[in-house]
Amino acid sequence: MKENKTEQKKELSLESEYKIGHTTYTVRLFFNFERGETLEDVIQRLILKDAGLA
């Protein structure tokens, strides 16, 4: 089966591992391009939510 190379990805997925003490944390990030938010919008929304202002 041949893939369509002109088709754009609709999601971005990243995974990182962090070791703190004897615990390993796996962090997965998913970014949906169809949502209509820029990365700046997402970061601002998360900061406001964390600060209790959203």
What digits encode the pLDDT tens for the residues 11-46?
A: 667 899 999 999 999 998 877 778 888 888 988 999
Domain of residue 46 covers 13-50
Tell me the torsion sign for CA atoms 47, 49, 52, 53.
positive
Q: Which residue has the higher pLDDT, 17 or 1?
A: 17
Q: Residue 6 domain-assigned? A: no
pTM for this predicted structure: 0.43
Q: Residue 19 domain-assigned? A: yes
Q: Residue 20 domain-assigned? A: yes
Q: Residue 2 domain-assigned? A: no
Q: Residue 3 domain-assigned? A: no
Closest to 32 (Cα-Cα) out of 46, 18, 53, 11: 11
Q: Residue 7 domain-assigned? A: no
- Residue 44 pLDDT: 93
Q: Residue 5 domain-assigned? A: no
Closest to 12 (Cα-Cα) out of 1, 28, 25: 28
- Residue 33 pLDDT: 75
Domain count, the chain: 1
